[in-house]
Chains A and B, each alone.
Chain A
Amino acid sequence: MSTVDSGAGVQAAADLVAGLPPAPAAWCTGLRKQYRRHLAVEDVSLQVGRGEIVGLLGPNGAGKTTVIKMLLGLVRPDAGEAMLLGQRSADPAARARVGYLPELFRYQPWLTAAEVLALHARLSGAGVPAAEQRDCLALVGLAGRGDDRVGGFSKGMQQRLGLAVALVGRPEFVVLDEPTSALDPLGRADARDIVLELRSRGVAVLLNSHLIGEVERVCDRVVVLDRGRVAASGTLAELLGQREVRLHLTDLSPAAQQRLAALGRVDREGEWSTVALSADDDGTAVPDLVRDLVSLGALVHAVEPVRISLEERLLGILRDGAASRAAGPS
């Protein structure tokens, strides 16, 4: 009787576990890394959900590559935890379904491109047939170059090969560290298409790139690192959600100025005022403001919505960080 009970219990537990959503593609908390006196990464936590494309942004030396390497178990964190596809990243098995294109990409120059792919397919343990490996080369624009030695490849071709290497083991999570640094505009467009194709197949991607436009076009979420810390993170809508409105006003009385300031932060430039709108605005703030300004005697010549680009937002975040550091450690 008790055996039957425990059997049913195990089944119930198995059903419960099976019903749980899959673990995130990557997850880390409290990551810290110090190289001698230099603190490279401090208290970094982030998550990449299944099928999600997350952009990692930040200036040079912000710790982006170090965070990526800690996620992949290539660098040992001084503190914190990292998981890949539900397993501790220190365990090599966690990387079985992970593809990686390093920032410093280089492949055995004495091997051919096809041999490099075959080597990585074998090391990944995925049992990828030769035809699929050739498809992988074709996907990155190296069809017909499989039998050429990597030593004779240009930087751009090596980076294309790196993309193929990252994709060859049928990954569920792909980490691309500056994947287009050596590519021409056509190559960049190809890389963008590949990332979007990965998303359509439900493969999660962590994309570190200096090309903000590239990140803005393909990423669902963005994590901004500055001086080893997470300076901001959220969906593009959340990060860019702060809308502004620009007004050309004359005859602005003190009361009208107060009405403007009541709405949000105001930047004045001659007769033009830019007002930040709150994120929970239901669409009535601007008509109400214009009506009130007119009733307070102001002449409203123009009202324009302002769109903030990710680049402007990023610069704003980094400048705010620099300003608060300059203000002192209070």
Chain B
Amino acid sequence: MSTARTVLTIAALTLREASRRRVLLALVALTVGLLGLSSWGFSRLAAESLTSGEARLTASILLNLVMFGYSLVAALGTAFLAGPTLSGETESGIALSMLARPIRRSAFLLGKWLGLVAFGSGFVALAGLAQIVVVRVTVDYWPPAPATALALLAAQTVVLLTLTVLLATVISPMASGVVAVGLFCTTWVAGVVGAIGEALGNDAVGRVGSVSRVLLPTDGLWRGAMNAFQDPSAIVQFGGADEGAGAFPFLSTAPLTLTYLGWAVLWVAMVWALAAMSFVRRDL
């Protein structure tokens, strides 16, 4: 069987697994709940007598906050799907009969990864788009670069699930999900701490965020996505990038650089290669 055919077969199988397991139902329920809650909140906001500038600022911040909710749901969903689908199959014996077929393990892993990428990115793009439409309808706010923002949000999901795939090749299914989500949250907190450090002019604390963003690019990509969601005037209203705006966790002072995007792509490639090496060498 050709490698491309194997990859597509396994990717389709992974998508079918995601659609038939409860995880999809749980994601849909969470998303609908979040959409409903946010549309109610945004409609209440529209009822307040705010100036147009204040309305845009509030909509920006709230949109970023709700999007953070989606990114967290996507992180939890993919992390807890990637663990069972890879390490769970290896432990339970499902993988034994499949890997005894004339297929390469790296093709099997790539198929699993691609299926998860399609599932995670698809969820983020659809849920995010629905949210943007809700905001448009309720408070008449449209983000400056919605496509970039959604793409970066999807990229953040890809980074996290690649990490989970690596972890799933070496540790148990549940542990890989827990560790990945733990690292995701830690990096986000480190990013906030770093931003506060920068706002206070403390370089040592400021470096915490920069270093964590290099080690795990989820927070960096998230900040890029926030910057594309928020109204440019929000930073000015918060006192400018060098004053208080940087320290606020749901505003991002600068767009993503191409260098950082390149690093994120390289990071994913390296971590995937490590996962493949570990999986190919593993005794089943």
Contact = CB atoms under 8 A, between A and B. Distances in A.
B115 to A, nearest CB: 13
B242 interface: no
Interface of B is mostly: helix
B104 A92 contact: yes
A104 B96 contact: yes
B44 to A, nearest CB: 41
A11 B17 CA distance: 52
B281 A76 contact: yes
B283 A74 contact: yes
Interface in A102-122: 102, 104-108, 110-111, 119-120, 122
A203 interface: no
Nearest to A75: B283
Nearest to A115: B16
B97 A162 contact: yes
A96 interface: yes
A74 B284 contact: yes
B97 A105 contact: yes
Contact of B100 (A72, A107, A108): A72
Given A69-B284, A76-B281, A119-B13, A102 B93 contact: yes
B101 to A, nearest CB: 4
A123 B93 contact: no
Contacts, number: 75
A125 interface: yes
Given A69-B284, A106-B94, A107-B94, A119 B100 contact: no
Contacts of B17: 108, 110
A122 B9 CA distance: 8
B94 A76 contact: no
Q: How large is the interface on B (under 10, 10 to 19, 20 to 34, 35 or more residues)?
A: 20 to 34
B98 interface: yes
A296 interface: no
A136 to B, nearest CB: 14
A69 B99 CA distance: 11
Nearest to B93: A104
A124 interface: yes
A271 B16 CA distance: 73
11 contacts: A74-B99, A75-B283, A76-B281, A100-B96, A102-B96, A107-B97, A108-B94, A110-B21, A122-B9, A124-B1, A124-B101
Interface of B: 1, 5-6, 9, 13, 16-17, 20-21, 92-94, 96-104, 281, 283-284
Given A100-B97, A122-B1, 18 more contacts: A72-B100, A74-B96, A74-B99, A74-B283, A75-B283, A92-B101, A92-B104, A95-B102, A102-B93, A105-B97, A107-B97, A108-B17, A110-B17, A110-B20, A110-B21, A119-B13, A124-B101, A125-B102
